[in-house]
Chain A
Amino acid sequence: MNVQDFVEGIKRGDRRILAKAISFAENGHPIAKEILRQIYDKTGKAQVVGITGFPGTGKSTLVSKLVEEFRKRGKSVGVVAVDPSSPFTGGALLGDRLRLNGADVDKNLWTDERVFFRSMGSRGRLGGIAKKTGDVVKLLDAAGYDMILVETVGAGQGEIGILEVADTAIVVLMPEMGDDIQVNKAGILEIGDIFVINKSDLEGAENLERWLSFTLSLDSSDSAEKGSANAERWRKRVIKTVATRGEGIKELADAITEHFEFLKRSGTLEIKRAERTKMMALEIAMEEIRAEITKRCSNLLLDSKDPYTIAERILKDIIKI
């Protein structure tokens, strides 16, 4: 099979070909670059929603419920679930694949033709994972999925990077996490567009909601998107859910759709995506440069001892190119 076959297969909606293309992108196979380059014009239709939050907040159930809800609204949904790989062994236990609790298990998302679920390991590349995820998202986009949900765990630097690939960023919290400080530190409040308090039937939900609303209202930089001529701002939402019972899901889905409308209406979407393309191009270039430099570094280590001299020599070399 050649690049053309893959490109056509993806556009046609062939799941196996899509799955294989995703693997190429994950593995950084050279053919992936070509496929991505060729399908790029077919992308841009889907709304990409990033969902992050600490472990135990019930994200997987929430994601499953959202998929169910969007299916009800006639949308096709792709899901990418990113899980951390062990830094020691490289192994990972991936994606708690779509799981529905409660009634309605007749609606089986696993065999729904218009749902695609893919589990990814971070493979220890906290930096590069954002790019790889972005590639996978593009492939799903080209395959025609209306909504693409990207689920990641935690709220560290790597995970925030993943949210950069999203149009809409959702942060999932739960009562009694005791992590208000952590949330603050991680910069999550800036990056989130919608905040979900899941397991909101637990004690402390009201307090968390109040604290969150208050803190968000203080943050004045929230959605004055850079360079946006239109002064319209996105009012960050706080939504309470009990995912296992399906409560709050409709409101969440509404908010997600509203956010997309806002982005389109205010011109922010274009700006954001251009930003992202620039960022990805930068990352792609940086990856190549990094590889080159690393190669040269090992050679140069034989000559000079101090890092400053080595760096100087590398730069001279590259700039020459």
Chain B
Amino acid sequence: MEKIRVLIAKLGLDGHDRGAKIIARFLRDAGFEVIYTGLHRTPQEVARAVIDEDVDVLGISILSGAHIPLVPRVLDFTTQYGGDPNEIVVVVGGTIPTEDIPKLKACGVDAVFIPGTPISEIIKFIKQKVAEKRRDNL
């Protein structure tokens, strides 16, 4: 399978980067190409990176409670900039209450990973989903 490119993004003012950095490291060790945006990225900046880097996966880490409206905004801007969010696998991790998960999924998020999810599970999901999307996009 072709290299899987992942963008790990920290959205908004949230400064907690322990999870994002761990995910980046472990994904790299699992053979992925990982681009970590660093902190304090706006939805526009993330959308721009998603398109220019032509990533297969967008992973957003957010623990500030601001996932709504920020996550949907990233996907909106991605569309605005000419991209198609359906082509990529979008996953979100952080402090996300269960009741917000359907809302996020409705905007195009493929999965929400709560704290404690083993990374091996996340990797498995990503590989599966990327293979699916690549088949669909052909």
Q: Which residues of A are interface residues toward B (Cβ below 8 A)?
A: 14-16, 19-20, 22-23, 26-27, 85-86, 89-97, 99, 108, 110-111, 116-119, 121, 123
B25 CB contacts on chain A under 8 angstroms = 93
Known contacts A19-B52, A19-B54; A110/B45 CB under 8 A: yes
B36 CB contacts on chain A under 8 angstroms = 93
Q: Which of B26-34, B64-72, B98-106, B108-116 contacts A (4 or more CB under 8 A)?
A: B26-34
Q: In whole angstroms, what is the CA distance A14 to B33 when docked?
A: 24
Chain A residue nearest in CB terms to B21 = A93
The answer on a CB contact under 8 Å between B33 and A91 is yes
B27 CB contacts on chain A under 8 angstroms = 91
The answer on a CB contact under 8 Å between B82 and A15 is yes
A144 CB, nearest partner CB in chain B, Å: 15
Provide a sorted-by-A list of 8 A–B residue pairs whose CB atoms are within 8 angstroms.
A22-B54, A26-B3, A85-B33, A89-B28, A89-B31, A97-B37, A99-B38, A111-B42
The answer on a CB contact under 8 Å between B3 and A123 is yes
The answer on a CB contact under 8 Å between B51 and A15 is yes
Known contacts A14-B82, A108-B45, A110-B49; A89/B54 CB under 8 A: no
Q: In whole angstroms, what is the CA distance A221 to B2 when docked?
A: 43
Q: Which residues of B are interface residues toward A (Cβ below 8 A)?
A: 2-3, 24-25, 27-38, 41-42, 44-45, 48-49, 51-54, 81-83
B37 CB contacts on chain A under 8 angstroms = 97
The residue from B33, B35, B51 contacting A97, defined by CB atoms under 8 A apart: B35
The answer on a CB contact under 8 Å between A119 and B3 is no
A157 CB, nearest partner CB in chain B, Å: 22
The residue from A16, A93, A96, A110 contacting B34, defined by CB atoms under 8 A apart: A93
Instruction: Please give me the 6 A-B residue pairs with the lowest Cβ-Cβ distance, nearest first.
Output: A91-B28, A19-B54, A110-B45, A90-B31, A16-B82, A91-B31
